[in-house]
Structure 1
Amino acid sequence: MKKFEDKVVIVTGGGSGIGFGIATAFAKEGANLVLTGRTEKTLLKAKEELEKEYNVKVLVQVADGGKEEDVKVAISNIVNEFGKIDVLINNAQASKSGKKLEEHSKEDFDLAINSGLYATFFYMREALPYLKKTEGSVINFASGAGISGRDGQSSYAAAKEGIRGLSRVATTEWGEFNINVNVICPLVMTKALENWREEYPELYEKTIGQIPMGRFADGENDIGRLCIFLSSEDGKYITGETISLQGGSSLRP
């Protein structure tokens, strides 16, 4: 029997990038999936590929995570379809990365907070009654941008550090229900990063040179497999942690 057969896993932003890599890893383990996001075409393409390749059921939910009512409707639809929630993975995030702090408008800042921090909060709150029943797992995504204070990442870093704080409080409050809550800070290869490599090959090589393992993480094999471990019985006692999955580039005391 596959490790996640008959389990229900929600992946926000699951139609592409890191989210799709995570969804693929869980599909290989037999999980039924819920992919959420704002672009229906992207989600439907991912659904078709995952169902065809891995013979799992995939529910698509078009929703803006920063809108409370969208999330409530999505969770209601998920429970009506599957009857339960076992794992919640909050991966989706938008931001004006690259803009200096003083260049940010309130709308720019709101974009990061709404799509990241509020979306994580809404999904966690609405999923909690069902996670209690399954003694489920939550995995949220933060970033080295917040931990290290990276240039041009003010709103993104603020949202991600807010997610880390939210996750630690949930760890304290939800431990009695045997729900574990963890945070991953990844350094992962995405389509956007591939485009950046082609546009700025010298800067890319310099960046790679600063990673001891000499590569960026893979969304499925590195990020997805860690999510599977943290959501399984093997990783159940791990909770409240921020795990930097950055090939050694995040070394710190």
Structure 2
Amino acid sequence: MISPGVAGRLAGRTAFITGAGGALGAAIAEAFAREGARALTLSDIRVEAVGDLAARLRRGGVEVTTPELDVTDGDAFDRAVRSAVEAFDGLDLLVNNAGAVSPNARIHNVTTDDFDRCVRINLTGTFHGVRAAARVMRDRGGSVINIASVAGLTAWPYAAPYGVAKAGIIHLTRVAALEYAKERIRINCVCPGAFPSAIHDGVPDGAMDVIEARHPFGLGKPQDLTGAVTYLASDEAAWTTGQAIVVDGGYSLP
């Protein structure tokens, strides 16, 4: 692990990551630390899920806070981001990573509650994060990275709520990038293919087998995505905003 202050692409930066207790959130946090980030806010609705990760990062010299956060609560999101700014004297990066899948079902079998829950966590939660970041980054600029999905770019049967929510994230990213360009806030998203994670625990094995077969490189790993996220967080992406970067093992190829 690169210690804070050692030259890296994110040397001295501060970052806020949602869903940090999951596989991808943890991988992003560790990648940011390797690149020299000095302070990380690791938020999750299950605060106990980030305990071991936070301890490892602190041993490496990174400052870490671990607020409990339900991303569907916009006021709570604002408070958590303001607390991070106060704790670390600013915020450079925010990663909207928290998410949830929808039941594996055709549309006529999807309940309104299931649809609303998926959209609320994925899309509304991301909106809350973009809004909270914009409120504190307008004077100094920054980078917001939203985790979308190739499901927002292609049609996934039996996953309408999830696809709709992820497509919304992609469009929100583009609109927000235009709105905040003059304030030097870069807003981009990463569109992963499928990789094993806790949010897929409810997906039937047969469905995951079908999804895996659609990926020429097979299912990915969280670490396969961190390069794109780190790039977008870094100065290498200083001229990149409003983009949806696809990292999907070939899933979306025709």
What TM-score do you get using the length of structure 1 for normalisation?
0.88
Residue correspondence of structure 1 range 1-253 to structure 2 within 5 A = 1-31=7-37, 32-52=39-59, 54-192=60-198, 204=209, 207-212=211-216, 214-220=217-223, 222-252=224-254
Cα distance in 2, alignment partners of residues 161 and 207 from structure 1:
18
Cα distance in 2, alignment partners of residues 70 and 226 from structure 1:
28
Q: Report the RMSD for the aligned CA atoms in angstroms.
A: 2.4
Structure 1 residues 185-243: Cα deviation after superposition (integer angstroms, max 9, x where no partner):
1125334499799955x963x6545433x2333323x2112111112111121111111
What TM-score do you get using the length of structure 2 for normalisation?
0.88
Residue 64 of structure 1: SS of its match in structure 2? coil
Q: Is the 8 A contact 2:122 2:165 kept in 1?
A: yes
What is the Cα deviation at residue 11 of structure 1? 1.1
Residue 140 of structure 1: SS of its match in structure 2? strand
Structure 1 residues 19-51: Cα deviation after superposition (integer angstroms, max 9, x where no partner):
111111101112121111110110222211222
Residue 34 of structure 1: SS of its match in structure 2? strand
Higher helix share: 1
Structure 1 residues 60-92: Cα deviation after superposition (integer angstroms, max 9, x where no partner):
110100012211221121112112111111111
What is the Cα deviation at residue 153 of structure 1? 0.9
Q: Is the 8 A contact 2:196 2:219 kept in 1?
A: no
Q: Percent identity at matched positions?
A: 28
Q: Is the 8 A contact 2:85 2:91 kept in 1?
A: yes
Unaligned runs of 5+ in 2: 1-6
What is the Cα deviation at residue 184 of structure 1? 0.9
Q: Is the 8 A contact 1:15 1:45 kept in 2?
A: no
